[in-house]
Every structure is written in structure tokens, then in C-alpha cells.
Amino acid sequence: MKNEPLLTVADRVELLVNALLPATDHRPVVKLFTPDGVATWLLSEVDPDDPDRLFGLCDLGLGFPELGYVSLAEITQLRGKLGLPVERDQHFVADKPLSSYAAEAKAAGRITA
């Protein structure tokens, strides 16, 4: 996983396609997390006008995950308690729309995917 980008070209294409489609409740494309912390992101779209601005379910480990926009540049700069960078969950495959993950996270107080 070292030196690999958090998002592949295929991820970026899928995030953009989701943003351009009329449907608004897409499946997450990618799951990012802090391996030595509690932050997790399930990302489903990218702003067509700003490739750094991603939309998804964001959980910083404070007990109230929420839907919103995040900066990929800021996520890339984050480090957990041991100084480890954010990683991509290589095994994550979304099996439901983002709203379902959001409802589960709200009930649990954290992303459980």
C-alpha cells in the first residue's frame, strides 16, 4: 500500500460519473480510513468543477458521522496517533446506497462498514 494513491483513475472516473448522473443516492466508490485512528470516509462522488472536493459519509470518530464534502488534499495530509497516513480499504465493496450506510452509522454513532 505504500506510495499508492488513495484513488485510482478508475475510482476518479466512477466518482465523476456518479456526480453527473441524475440519481443522488449512489453506492460508495471507495472507503478510506486511518489505520491507527478512528476516522473513516465512504466516498461516492467528486465535484465536477473541483477534483479535490469529494462527497460522502464522513466519520471523524466523534460520534456523529455525517454526509458532506471533504478535501482529498486534507485527507491525504492527515495522520493517525502513530503518524500513519490514511489508507484505502482494498477489500471494501459497497453493497447498498450511501443513504443506507448513513442510516446505519447514525444509529451506531460510527461507520460500521
The model's pLDDT over 41-76, given as tens digits with 9 standing for 90+, comes to: 999 999 999 999 999 999 999 999 999 999 999 999
* 45: in domain: yes
Burial 67-84 (b: 16+ CB within 10 A, else e): beebebeebeeeebeeee
* 112: in domain: no
Q: How confident is the model at residue 3 (pLDDT cuts 50, 70, 90)?
A: low
The model's pLDDT over 70-109, given as tens digits with 9 standing for 90+, comes to: 999 999 999 989 999 999 999 999 999 999 999 999 999 9
For residue 19, what are the domain limits? Answer: 9-107
* 113: in domain: no
* 4: in domain: no
- Structurally, the chain folds into a number of domains equal to 1
Please give the pLDDT value at position 15.
Answer: 98
Q: How confident is the model at residue 24 (pLDDT cuts 50, 70, 90)?
A: confident
Q: How far apart are CA 41 and CA 32, in angstroms?
A: 5
